[in-house]
Amino acid sequence: QVTLRESGPALLKPTQTLTLTCTFSGFSLSTSGMCVSWIRQPPGKALEWLALIDWDDDKYYSTSLKTRLSISKDTSKDQVVLTMTNMDPVDTATYYCARMSGAYSTGYFDYWGQGTLVTVSS
């Protein structure tokens, strides 16, 4: 049974750095072909893909947010960590981690965490 769970701060001040952890079970990120992504959704708005890390430690980022994002994995803990610097109120959103199945250019998100709401406000 595949599960993912996001954890991190619910409230941040502008300019602070966000660190989110995705703890997963039911698969191993050291297995060839496995990937985990971060996706966010501002209140009432659409989904936005942020970043992906694969079993080979290759990392991919949204071009619009690339300078602010960093993704890493701890295979021994079955965790993926996302950091986003210089947070702004427009970054207020529910942040999801999701497992991607398939190749990077054809993959789909087959399992999602429940999401964690991050609010940026002074």
Residue range at the interface with other proteins (CB under 8 A); choices 25-33, 67-75, 81-89, 112-120: 112-120
The residues in 24-43 that bind other proteins, with binding defined as CB under 8 A, are: 37, 39
Q: How far apart are CA 84 and CA 102, in angstroms?
A: 26
Work out which of 29, 81, 96, 120 binds other proteins, going by CB under 8 A.
Answer: 96
Q: Per-residue DSSP letters for 57-77?
A: --EEE-TTTGGGEEEEEEGGG
**105 contributes a contact to other proteins by CB under 8 A:** yes
Q: How far apart are CA 75 and CA 79, in angstroms?
A: 6
Q: Kindly report the length of the chain.
A: 122
Nearest approach, Cβ of 105 to other proteins (angstroms)? Answer: 5
The residues that bridge with 106 in the sheet, in sequence order, are: none
Kindly give, in sequence order, each residue whose CB lies less than 8 Å from that of residue 57, ignoring residues fewer than 6 positions away.
73
Work out which of 8, 16, 21, 49 binds other proteins, going by CB under 8 A.
Answer: 49
Work out which of 22, 52, 53, 87 binds other proteins, going by CB under 8 A.
Answer: 52
Question: Which residues form the interface with other proteins (CB under 8 A)?
Answer: 37, 39, 46-49, 52, 60-63, 96, 101-102, 104-110, 112-115
